[in-house]
Structure 1
């Protein structure tokens, strides 16, 4: 009977008294004695009437009671996601969209992105397609570390014989019309004393969903519009080349996976291993 009593009685601990000892008492009440600094418990049939104060942790023991610290409460998911988003933004800040990224910068950004991807809910675009709607600003691309605007694909170089300064990069997605536009602001160098030419290139695509988180885009045309001092010039449309004239490496389409998505942040991974991070604009 004694062993049964010890194994079923609760053991109380208060966070402000980690070194206090405890004992079993036949007094018929659960109370704390300031002079003896012990917790007392009733007999088994009165134990359920103990009035435990907030902050106590109750356990059972086969001998005497020892104080324990309560386990740390699990971090709320929203707080965890928020802290991981800040960590990712900190990892990619100051990298000029990835153009200034070193090998160490690439590793840190990759690790921070994986943490956020793991903590977030699984992406299921058939149900969450509305979250894609809007204008997204690119804040990081791992492929830009190759120092070309095409990333892992062929593209114009930056800072070479024809200086090209990359401005802001956006993706404009319309889930109703299935339009998917990549918008790139560029500054083209010109011979002195002519000022640089500012242009905005819009690469128009149509998109479709693939599986749960995949997106396939098909290129249609490029529209180039001068801005700044030459903004009065009309836009120039460059149509898509016919399939017969297009090199095999340029099929006019691409695929990528959305690996994290919420109302203001999106992570994608391209078909050539490119990691991209966007925020709603």
Structure 2
């Protein structure tokens, strides 16, 4: 698909958005909108088998995520959004690298509720921040198995009780290996199936 190739070309070298200048951001927004106009899955929340799985972040405009990569001496590694449609759960996992033996991990677990054919409401429930070696982090799948089982990690690990910690996410494009979503704070997310 030409639109998909055009978007992926625009994302090359952007380091999930960290390297994007204003003209890059505008070009990416235009390419994303062009692809969204040809969404092959117009009701994505009604196709949980396509939504389900681990997605790797290719690009975002979310300052909250991008700021993780702006901390001196640290480097933003992979960022995943892992959807478990059958249980109504979503997990965000960001790997932090940089100083040897100080590789970190930031993760948030949430429950989601389908509210329309394209939108889900998200209620954040748990936050984990720690060193990968103390958590025994080897990969995102192993970590999520332990997270979902309720394991408490040797890290900053707490339940989010503030009912204000919520938002929504609208899936604006979905095929077998690419997803575009837009968040309640105006953020754009482009992810590939991992």
Q: 1:260 to 1:156 in 2, by over 3 A?
A: closer
> Residues 97 and 113 (structure 1 numbering): CA distance in 2 closer, same or farther, change over 3 Å?
same
The 5 Å alignment of 1:140-151 reads 140-144=59-63, 149-150=64-65
CA distance, structure 2, for counterparts of residue 126 and residue 141 of structure 1: 21
Contact 1:125 1:209 survives alignment (8 Å): no
Alignment pair present for 1:218 and 2:123: yes
Bigger radius of gyration among the two: 1
Offset of residue 273 of structure 1:
1.3
Q: Cα deviations across residues 53-105 of structure 1 (Å, max 9, x unaligned)? A: xxxxxxxxxxxxxxxxxxxxxxxxxxxxx221111000011011001100000
The residue aligned with 2:26 is 107
Structure 2 residue runs without a partner (length 5+): 138-152
- Deviation of the 1:272 alpha carbon: 1.6
Aligned residues of 1:166 and 1:185 also touching (Cα < 8 A): yes
RCO greater where, 1 or 2, for CA within 8 Å and sep 6 or more? 2
Structure 1 residues 19-168: aligned runs within 5 Å:
82-121=1-40, 123-144=42-63, 149-150=64-65, 158-160=70-72, 163-168=73-78
Q: 1:126 to 1:241 in 2, by over 3 A?
A: closer
Q: By percentage of residues, which structure has more helix?
A: 2
Aligned length: 179
Question: How far, CA to CA, are the matches of 1:173 and 1:269 in structure 2?
Answer: 16
Runs of 4+ in 1 over 6 A off after TM superposition: none
Shift of 1:129: 2.0
Distance 2:181 2:45 in 1: 16
Higher strand share: 2
TM-superposed CA distance for 1:238, in Å, is 2.1
C-alpha distance in 1 between matches for 2:110 and 2:45:
19
Query: Separation in 1 of the partners of 2:135 and 2:110?
Result: 24
User: In 1, Cα distance between the equivalents of 2:172 and 2:49?
Assistant: 16
Contact (CA 8 Å) 1:221, 1:237: kept in 2 or not?
no
* Secondary structure of the structure 1 residue equivalent to 2:121: strand
TM-score scaled by length of structure 1: 0.58
Deviation at 1:231, TM superposition (A): 5.9
Cα-Cα RMSD: 2.3
1:236 CA drift (Å): 2.4
The farther-off stretch of 196-205 and 129-138 is: 196-205
